[in-house]
Amino acid sequence: MANNNGNGKSLESWIWDAACSIRGAKDAPKYKEFILPLIFTKRLCDVFDDELNRIAAEVGSRKKAFQLVRADHKLVRFYLPLVPFDPEEPVWSVIRKFSDRIGEGVTTHMRAIARENPLLQGIIDRVDFNATTHGQRDIDDDRLSNLIEAISTKCLGLDDVEADIIGKSYEYLIRKFAEGGGQSAGEFYTPPEVGTIMSRVLAPEPGMDIYDPCCGSGGLLVKCEIAMEEKRREIKEGGHSCPPLHSELNGYPSCNGGLENPPSIAPLKLYGQEYIADTWAMANMNMIIHDMEGQIEIGDTFKNPKFRNKQGKLRTFDRVVANPMWNQDWFTEADYDNDELDRFPAGAGFPGKSSADWGWIQHIHASLNNSGRAAIVLDTGAVSRGSGNAGTNKEKSVRKWFVDNDIIESVLYLPENLFYNTTAPGIVLFLNRDKEIEREGCVLLVNASRIFEKGDPKNFIPDEGIKRIVDTLIGWKEEEKLSRIVNLAELKKNDYNISPSRYIHTGEAETYRPIEDIVKDLNAIELEARETDEALRKILKQLGVDV
């Protein structure tokens, strides 16, 4: 993407330069809570200007346009209570012209915008640009002024840049923050090519309900809407007719920030929940700046999922996408036993203390309607841990339940070093509650470990690689050294190991399990042995045996 605007730089270059204006590229990720809301507000201001100009063309002046929108906020998507001294000046100039007490002024205006727009409350007003730590400003006025001036060099209005372009640029900025975010990056960002594969394979259709229980910055939800729109364009270019126009969305005149032409198909209904407050705000900004509508709740999905039906039971969806934090170890057996939402069925249930991966899978499975499908990013060990070990393994027992009930449609083994918080390859698990008859009793395994190009700092899957993987998964195709259709009998014979690397050898290198996976296995075995010993001791003690 090389969309240029204003000073000749691409939007991506501009948006990163603006972020670096505080203290350089190395420190930019530390200031994302300041940078993202300001760029978001610049977009709101410039779109508001476009809407004012449209009204002014009808009523004769911007001064009258200001008066009209102040009296009737429904004339615009977001009403901004920022009025320049000269109504002909851009709305953003109110913020740009601060010369002293800048942090205090920006915070005051952000909160004023949020008060006028309930949809933005808690999103742009949660940051205090005047905050201090141990008596020192978190971002002093000089650096804040530099940031505002850098952001001011681009126009982000409807006539300057389309929603998908500014949205992609915003995603680019989030990715750049992830590159410098270390271990924390995985909490809010999934590599875009992985999200593209997931969304294209799930093939969401107009009007569907899409859910992400741990949505991070909302990228996977955005990818689903983009995938649907791309599919529609392909159909249109192929000469097929398109669905009728859909003119309103959630009460707004349009979902494209005030454009006169409304969206041509029913949008997806996007739902997400996120535990970390700053990331929740990031998700809301990301969706709005993409001109997509969704409901993002805040809270711990595992212990308190917010999306319920009228009976208080778990709400179900057409599609679920997720990249939960891998191998969470802070949930106990009591968390599963105390669940009142029927998420953890008999025969599956508690997958062990060392990893909640299959706990998340169970929540996602319970969140699908009868024809629902899901795509979940997980640690590679989730599809193999416990297989081949003597005795029982709780995680394998849950995996066995999913295999025996024929809910797993396919497993994709990804290349290594794609993710920002680990070099491990990762897998994508695809679930289907309503498999096609010809796919019943089988699982498609795809080993895409060699489909990547070297990047800095991370590897990436090129466009042709994305297409090859998607075509294989959708077409249910077998290809030497890439994919195999494996029946349930063979999976059972291999002790419910469903890792593609177990069945498909690329021939270029021997596949070894990562050391961290082996260590996790050993730790899980040791933990289960201790639990078994403790239970045995209690029984013997009750029998009066001295132990």
Q: Which of 101, 98, 99, 122 is nearest to 110 (CA)?
A: 122
Angle at 270 between CA 117 and CA 2, to 5 degrees: 85
Residue 262 has pLDDT above 50, yes or no: no
**201 or 173, which is more confident?**
201
Residue 133 has pLDDT above 80, yes or no: yes
Pairing of strands 317-322, 408-413: unpaired
Alpha-carbon span 321 to 367, nearest angstrom: 11
CATH architecture for segment(s) 11-171: Up-down Bundle (1.20)
Residue 255 has pLDDT above 50, yes or no: no
Q: Which DSSP string corresponds to 286-322?
A: HHHHTT--EEEEES-TTT----B-TTSSBP-EEEEEE
The predicted structure's pLDDT at residue 420: 84
Residue 468 has pLDDT above 90, yes or no: yes
Residue 458 has pLDDT above 70, yes or no: yes
Residue 249 has pLDDT above 60, yes or no: no
Least confident of 63-72, 84-93, 271-280, 383-392: 383-392
Average pLDDT (32-60) is 95
The DSSP element (H or E) to which 418 belongs, if any, is none
Of the pLDDT bands very low, low, confident and very high (cuts 50, 70, 90), residue 168 is: confident
- Tokens 């190991």 locate to 497
Of the pLDDT bands very low, low, confident and very high (cuts 50, 70, 90), residue 150 is: very high
- Residue ranges covered by each domain of the chain: 11-171, 181-505, 513-547
Task: Look over the chain and give the mean of its residue pLDDT values, rounded to a whole number.
Answer: 88
* Structure tokens that stand for 4 in this block: 């240029």
Q: What predicted TM-score, i.e. pTM, was given to this entire model? A: 0.85
Alpha-carbon span 36 to 112, nearest angstrom: 18
Per CATH, domain 181-505 is 3.40.50.150 = yes
- Classify residue 338 by burial, with Cβ atoms within 10 Å: 0-12, 13-18, 19+: exposed
Least confident of 61-70, 80-89, 264-273: 264-273
| pLDDT per residue as tens digits for the range 335-348 | 999 999 999 998 89
Q: Which of 382, 225, 370 is nearest to 289 (CA)?
A: 225
Q: 181 CB contacts (<8 Å, ≥6 apart)?
A: 29, 189, 420, 421
The predicted structure's pLDDT at residue 534: 75
Residue 511 has pLDDT above 70, yes or no: no
